[in-house]
Amino acid sequence: MASSSSKSASGSRGSGLQIKPKTMAISYESLEVQIKSPVDFASLNRNGINMDALMAAQQMFPYFDMLNGPTFVKLVKDFWVRAEVYDVEAAKAEELQAVTRDPSLRGKTRKEMGLEPFRQTEIRSAVMGIPITIIEEVIAKACRIAPTGRFLWNVSRNHPLLESYKSVVLNGNQAVMPVILFLVEFRVLFN
């Protein structure tokens, strides 16, 4: 039997083209992709909100330059209607599904189950049949910033890191942290 001479596009996992169904029941026409000045720093400055120092300290200007660059609307829409988050829960569900299909896999590692190891949360989709996987490192590279930093979730009100931010974010009031007391720049970011 002769082998096919055509080449197939490969995705991040070395797999070929794949038809991925939509993960959300939404029409392309109802999706709106904002492509003009997603963040207009000049307008913010005219209204008394100067974000330059904050963005410079976080080295975020290359990211905003990228946002204001060209946008391929159809590709963006095609990506997002097929996107799904692959996180710890999705990895556990994948393991449970493998065990349901074959009970002898109970207690085995992901590798022994024939599954790829779970490394980190991913956004998975396919564009024009090509599988696309986005991880934190890819986002950092696209933003032209280092993939470092700290993200804290469900922090208690007494966390030492939160205390260090109060003097920066609040307008001199260390006692409470309602949004109304935020400096105007941080209220803009919060909303």
The stretch 47-53 carries a mean pLDDT of 78
Q: In the sheet where 84-86 sits, what is the strand order?
A: 84-86, 122-127, 130-134
The residue ranking higher by pLDDT, 3 or 180, is 180
Would you say 74 and 33 are in contact if contact means Cβ atoms under 8 Å apart? no
Using one digit for the tens of pLDDT, what is the confidence trace for 79-126? Answer: 988 899 999 999 999 999 999 999 999 999 999 999 999 999 999 998
SS3 123: strand
**157, 158, 159, 160: CA torsion to nearest 10:** 130
Distances (CA, A) of 113 to 49, 85, 155: 54, 21, 36
Using one digit for the tens of pLDDT, what is the confidence trace for 129-168? Answer: 889 999 988 888 887 777 776 666 666 767 666 655 665 5
Would you say 92 and 100 are in contact if contact means Cβ atoms under 8 Å apart? no
> At residue 136, what is the residue type?
E
The rounded distance, in Å, linking the Cα atoms of 37 and 20 is: 31
